[in-house]
């Protein structure tokens, strides 16, 4: 999950795999379409795209660390995933 900023600065948690499109709606609002509907957020499309890319690259790093048995590195990367989800940081 990634954490975005919804209306009234409330957090919105979205699984990046569920996002189908990101469109600028107004000058300060962005509509994130998902397979189940959508959300209005205040993050720019560029910030959302960067967040999704960074999240996916971090997932790949985590999987690679686990696959080679480097659980210390996997634990470090896991902490990064918590930050993407807004659980820490």
The answer to whether position 76 is within a domain reads yes
Higher-confidence residue: 84 or 44? 44
The pLDDT value recorded for residue 84 is 81
CA distance 22 to 49: 8
The answer to whether position 89 is within a domain reads no
What are 43-66's pLDDT values in tens digits?
999 999 999 999 999 999 999 999
**Do 73 and 65 touch, CB atoms closer than 8 A?**
yes
The answer to whether position 55 is within a domain reads yes
**Do 51 and 59 touch, CB atoms closer than 8 A?**
no
Overall domain count for the chain: 1
């Amino acid at each position: 999950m990634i954490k975005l900023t919804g209306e009234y600065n409330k957090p919105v948690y979205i699984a990046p795999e569920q996002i189908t499109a990101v469109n600028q709606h107004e000058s300060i609002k962005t509509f994130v379409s998902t397979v189940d509907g959508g959300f209005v957020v205040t993050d720019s499309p560029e910030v959302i795209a960067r967040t999704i890319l960074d999240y996916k690259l971090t997932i790949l790093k985590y999987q690679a660390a686990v696959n080679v048995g480097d659980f210390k590195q996997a634990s470090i990367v896991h902490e990064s995933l918590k930050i993407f989800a807004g659980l820490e940081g």
